[in-house]
Amino acid sequence: DFTEYGWYESAMFESENDRVREIASTQNITFNDHKKGIEPERFLANDDLNSMFVITSVNKDLHGRPFVSSFEARDIETYPFYAVQWHPEKNAHEYGTIPGTDNPKNPAINHSATAVKVGEKMARVFVTEARKSMHVYAQVNKYPLIWSYEMVPDLGRSFQFVYLVPPGEEPTDKSKLEKASKTLSSTLS
């Protein structure tokens, strides 16, 4: 449920996202697999949180307890901080079946076209903010890009693959590191 601020004033759910607000307020499209979200009353009682952030939506957890499901900075121009306590990425990207069956791993994830559209709109908010940054990732040799490391199956956990990043070791494939570094350098030129 959107708060009044979330419906009328939120930058995260601004006017171009009217359809997102409509879909999210009328369809069960957010995946709320949480048990320890902060209750709205606790959020509002915390002067530090409440002075910096404003609640944009509230939802109910697996036990029916209300929790703050999204919020953003009150001064979004100075502090472009957004937060969601749900998974907009799962609608489009989290598939899978229980091994040896055709049963979905998590049938609560809505994969409808409208649910995916909401995830895409949320991603667009994040990408739009990221594009405003003038920061450049220039330490590829010191801090390699993730695809420089070995990717392996996650052996029964929620996600399908993990990257193995050994502490203090070099990337497993120097040619990937060099290619990534050249690609990044040419992109920034």
pLDDT of 145 > 80? The answer is: no
pTM above 0.75, yes or no: no
Range in 62-71, 114-123, 153-162 with the lowest mean pLDDT: 153-162
Nearest CA to 163 among 173, 153, 175, 174? Answer: 153
For residue 68, list its beta bridge partners: 58
Distance separating alpha carbons of residues 135 and 123, to the nearest angstrom: 20
- pLDDT tens-digit readout, 24-83: 888 888 877 777 889 999 999 999 989 999 999 999 887 888 999 999 999 988 999 999
The single-letter code of the amino acid at 105 is: K
- pLDDT tens-digit readout, 75-111: 988 999 999 988 888 888 887 777 788 888 788 888 8
* 131 to 81, 125, 128, 138, 176: CA distances (angstroms): 14, 10, 5, 16, 26
For the chain, the average pLDDT equals 80
R_g of the chain computed on alpha carbons: 20
Element holding 123 (H helix, E strand): helix 113-131
